Structure 1
């Protein structure tokens, strides 16, 4: 799995952080997404896919 984020699309909702805190974080100053792990292990794939699916700004892309 390869994960990318588009900070320009991010609206700072934070849903990704709630679903997959090991993979996503938010900048303190504005809440914009920060990718912590671009190639998460298999046990986190389901949470990452869920985070991408519920992102209101479609700022998360998952390949594989």
Structure 2
């Protein structure tokens, strides 16, 4: 069984630089404005809220349209 080689992820420049989003908290039902960024390799998603508190998440797949 042959597998097709995976192509490198192309993260749009707008997502590397940061875009404004609302981060929704399911538990509290509150939305928080954040600046969301994705590293150039598409491995990590991180955001900073208005209080300059940062969070980081590891990604396995991300589809974007900027």
Q: Same fold (TM over 0.5)?
A: no
Greater helix fraction, Structure 1 or Structure 2: 1
TM-score interval for Structure 1 and Structure 2 normalised by the shorter chain: under 0.3
More relative contact order, 1 or 2 (CA 8 Å, 6+ apart)? 1
Q: Which has the larger radius of gyration?
A: 2
The structure in which a higher percent of residues are strand is 2
